[in-house]
Amino acid sequence: MNIKRMISSLFTYIPQEQYNFVLFRDTTGNQSSENKELKKDDENKTIYPSLSVNLEYVKSKYNSMINSDIIIREFTLNARGKQYSAFLLYIDGMINTDIMNKFVLEPLMLRNKSNMYDNEQNRIISEAVTNNITVRKVKKFNLADYIMSCLMPQNTVEQFSKFSKIFNDVNSGNCALFIDTLNIAFDIEVKGFEKRSIDKPENEIVIKGAHEAFVENIRTNTSLIRRSVHNENLIIENIQIGDITKTNCALCYVKTLANSDLVAELRYRLNNLEIDSMLSSGQLEQMIVDNNLISIPQVISTERPDKATSYLLDGRIVLLVNGAPYALVVPAVFTDFLSTPDDKNMRTSFSNFIKWIRILATFISLLLPGLYVAIASFHQELLPTDLLYSILASRETVPFPVILEILILEISFELIREAGIRVPSPIGPTIGIVGALIIGQSAVSAGIVSPILIIVVAMTGIASFAVPDYSFSFHLRIYRFLFIFLGYCCGFLGIGLGFLAYLVVLCDTKSFGVSFTSGISPLQKTVGHSYFLQPIWLREFRASYLDPKKHNKQEKISMKWKYPFLKEEDIQ
């Protein structure tokens, strides 16, 4: 038998069965227009009076036969002794079951005092007696109103007549109540899904500031902001972005401070985004900035509510995206990327010292490798003789030219950095050790790179970590390579002209109508903004380039207790 099979396998032709899945692209092109029409229909669909039609529509719309977490609960509703059939639509896992049972199903289904009456009693609104004739103004019984006012012990209940609105809320964790004979549906808030609790910020660590960070849930985030602004003028507008995801975004600003043109512009940009999905604040950032070609960040992105709040109170606008633990702040200027929320919590002299260090860090991180290459290639006369000798001595065994050497090291440094982020956290420290020891120590002893260069690259790396904003430091990392090439290509001439071009581009950049270099370059008097902080009692104004509605931040004499006998006239 076996021999037979062997022989047959040898000589018989068996067609090769290869699994081959190909996704065909619909090239006819009418798909999109169909979709659009369908969408338009859906948007305008109103709720039918007949429950069974509604039920059918909802079932087909939600694909409830195959969608496992869509739950449609049919039941009978008691109202004034009458019974109506009804159903609830909600998504399992997104609602709070307790609330659902106790405050939705229980009052609607169980008999209680309020739905005991059986006759159609009309409620008397007012009664007037004239000439023994009693005139009664009677309100006709309205089931919808009745349910709304008597049967729904729930805080947030709304009535909608359009399916689209109902579905939108169901998707975000509400439940919808459809009742026979009514051409409206109730939208009941019973949200209760699992979410992360407020945690410590992980990427923007400060010493003296608050230790709260935004979470993914937009309501928690708005509450964080609301709690610290603590004023009714804080407006949190809701804007939905994305045709499919309909992501909730919140546009937060203080009405009495933020420039209304700025708010209108941002609202205009947000409302005119034709995209299917919006999943994170990083995507939104790229969708709304003026210029994406240059990698300069034009929007501040922060995970700290206190930072967002302080910008809000400066008259800027904060954007929150549901599902993203980062808030976006617009407009942003250059100096914002070199500031941390801690600056204002420390004494002025401390923070100004740190700010100097940050400027230095920016320059080192952008230019140091480029300058090193330029000096080594063209301008060795610049080096003091002793330093020249130590560089020469350290480069004796190195086979590569300086440019190759620095590229090898810079790229391996970037590799270590990227690997360190992606690596699972238990083995994270190993990457650092491997990187630092193996690459650094062994490369030097093997004579591949010179120790001086290790110092240069390490200095650059450390400096780029001292730049507080992640995306800005990333921007510097990329442009650093440009300057390395320029330095290699034409020495100081390349670096000088490259820097000039960089400055011009920087000055040309605008973030939401505000010049990116405000506070540095248009040397008009920009009150209320300087990179270096003034003593706290002198910070009287909000930054003038934001053109806020209220310019004064504090009185001319803010520490009144110091001058108890000062009269009003003296202050002027």
Partner 1 sequence: MTDTKITSKEAIMLVVTIFVSHTIVTLPQNLLSNTKSATLINLLYVGIIAILLAYVIYRLLKNFASLDIVDISQYLGGNILKNIIGGIFITYFIVSSSNLLREFCEGLHVAFFPMTSIQFVLIPFILVLFLTNSLSFSSNVKTIAIIFPIVLISIVFLFFGNFQNFSFERMFPILGKGFYDTFITGIGNIFAFSGISCLYFIPPYLKEPNKMKQIALSSVIIGLLYFLFCTATILLLFSFFVDVDEVLPLYSAASYIEFGIFFQRLESFFMLIWILEIGCYLIVTNRFSISIFQKITNLKFQKPLAMIFPLLILGISLLPKNYSIIRFLESNIYSYFIIAIIFVLGIAILLLANLKKRKEGKVR
Partner 2 sequence: MKHLLKVFSFVVIFVILTVSFSSSYTRLNLDNIAVVVAIGIDKGENNKLKVSFQFTNPSSVSESGSSETAPTILKSVTASSISSAINLMNSHLGKELTLAHCKLLVFSEEIAKEGISDDIYTLMNDAQTRPSCNIVISKCTAEYYIDNSKPFLESLISKYYELFISSNQFTGYTANATLGRFFDNMICQSCDPYAILGGINLQIPSDSENSFSNKESTDMSNSSSLTGETISENVGLAVFREGTLVGELNAIETLAFMCINNDIKGFLISVPSPHVENQNIDVYLTPARNSKIDVSFINGSPYIKVDCKFCAQIYSMTNDSNYLDNNVLSQISESCNRYLKHVFTEYLYKTSKEYKSDINAIGKTSLKLFSTISQYENYGWREHYQDSFFDVSVDVNVKSSTLLSDS
x/- track of binding to partner 2 for residues 526-545 (CB under 8 A):
--------------------
Does residue 45 contact residue 165 with C-beta atoms inside 8 Å?
A: no
For partner 1, the closer CB: 264 or 427: 264
For partner 1, the closer CB: 138 or 501: 501
Does residue 507 contact residue 495 with C-beta atoms inside 8 Å?
A: no
By CB under 8 A, tell whether 440 contacts partner 2.
no
Does residue 90 contact residue 174 with C-beta atoms inside 8 Å?
A: yes
By CB under 8 A, tell whether 531 contacts partner 1.
no
By CB under 8 A, tell whether 371 contacts partner 2.
no
CA 233 distance to own-chain centroid: 22
By CB under 8 A, tell whether 393 contacts partner 2.
yes
By CB under 8 A, tell whether 488 contacts partner 2.
yes
Q: Residue 461 CB, nearest distance to partner 1 (Å)?
A: 24
Could you tell which of partner 2, partner 1, none binds residue 388, using a CB distance below 5 to 8 A set by kind? partner 2
Residue of the chain from 15, 384, 426, 564 that contacts partner 1 (CB under 8 A): 384
Residues 6+ apart with CB under 8 A from 449: 398, 400, 405, 408, 409, 443
Q: Which stretch binds partner 1 (CB under 8 A): 26-34, 126-134, 217-225, 501-509?
A: 501-509
Could you tell which of partner 1, partner 2, none binds residue 542, using a CB distance below 5 to 8 A set by kind? none
How many CA within 13 A on the CB side of residue 379? 17
Residue of the chain from 20, 385, 425, 524 that contacts partner 2 (CB under 8 A): 385
The total of other beta-carbon atoms located within 10 Å of residue 5's CB is 10
Of 291, 301, 488, 527, the C-alpha closest to 401 is: 488
Of 183, 179, 170, 162, the C-alpha closest to 42 is: 162
For partner 2, the closer CB: 168 or 390: 390
Residue of the chain from 328, 391, 457, 484 that contacts partner 2 (CB under 8 A): 391
By CB under 8 A, tell whether 182 contacts partner 2.
no
Give the integer Cα–Cα distance in Å for 104 and 190: 9
Q: Identify the DSSP state of 101.
A: I
For partner 2, the closer CB: 141 or 400: 400
Q: Residue 144 CB, nearest distance to partner 2 (Å)?
A: 59
By CB under 8 A, tell whether 291 contacts partner 2.
no
By CB under 8 A, tell whether 453 contacts partner 2.
no
Q: Residue 446 CB, nearest distance to partner 2 (Å)?
A: 15
Residue matched to tokens 């203080």? 254
- Quote the tokens at residue 439: 């690459």
- Quote the tokens at residue 488: 């290699």
By CB under 8 A, tell whether 370 contacts partner 2.
no
Q: Residue 381 CB, nearest distance to partner 2 (Å)?
A: 3
How many CA within 13 A on the CB side of residue 190? 28
For partner 2, the closer CB: 377 or 517: 377
Q: How far is CA 59 from CA 42, 52, 62, 122, 492, in A?
A: 14, 10, 5, 36, 71
Q: How far is CA 197 from CA 92, 119, 136, 174, 252, in A?
A: 21, 50, 56, 21, 22
For partner 1, the closer CB: 427 or 500: 500
By CB under 8 A, tell whether 520 contacts partner 1.
yes
Give the integer Cα–Cα distance in Å for 80 and 150: 11
Could you tell which of partner 1, partner 2, none binds residue 153, using a CB distance below 5 to 8 A set by kind? none
Q: Residue 376 CB, nearest distance to partner 1 (Å)?
A: 13
Residue of the chain from 489, 505, 506, 507 that contacts partner 2 (CB under 8 A): 489
Rg (C-alpha) for the chain, rounded Å, is 33
Give per-residue burial for 250-266: e unless 16+ CB within 10 Å, then b: bbbbbeebbbeebbebb
Q: Residue 487 CB, nearest distance to partner 2 (Å)?
A: 11
By CB under 8 A, tell whether 210 contacts partner 2.
no
Give the integer Cα–Cα distance in Å for 378 and 372: 10
Q: Which stretch binds partner 2 (CB under 8 A): 17-25, 93-101, 320-328, 388-396?
A: 388-396
For partner 1, the closer CB: 253 or 483: 483
Which residues contact partner 1 by CB under 8 A? Answer: 378-379, 381-384, 490-497, 499-501, 503-505, 507-508, 515, 517, 520-524
Which residues contact partner 2 by CB under 8 A? Answer: 376-381, 385-386, 388-396, 401-402, 451, 485, 488-491, 494
